[in-house]
Amino acid sequence: MTSSGSRSKPSLDERDFQRKIVHLISGERDPEGAIRSLSEHYKVEEPSLKMGLPRGTKKALGCYVHRERTIYISKEEFLYDPYVVIHEFYHHLRNVSGKHRGTERHAKEFALEFLRNT
SS3 sequence of the chain: CCCCCCCCCCCCCHHHHHHHHHHHHHHCCCHHHHHHHHHHHHCCCCCEEEECCCCCCCCCCEEEECCCCEEEECCHHHHCCHHHHHHHHHHHHHHHHCCCCCCHHHHHHHHHHHHHCC
Mean pLDDT of 85-96: 94
Q: Are 97 and 74 in contact (CB under 8 A)?
A: no
| pLDDT 10s digits, 107-118 | 999 999 999 977
Domain spans, the chain: 14-116
Q: Give the predicted TM-score (pTM) of the model.
A: 0.86
Q: Which CATH class is domain 14-116?
A: alpha beta
Mean pLDDT of the chain: 88
Q: Summarize pLDDT for 5-63 with one digit per residue, the tens.
A: 443 443 458 999 999 999 999 999 999 999 999 999 999 999 999 999 998 888 899 99
Q: How far is CA 109 from CA 80, 84, 88, 104, 116, in A?
A: 19, 12, 12, 9, 10
Q: 51 has which bridge partners?
A: 73
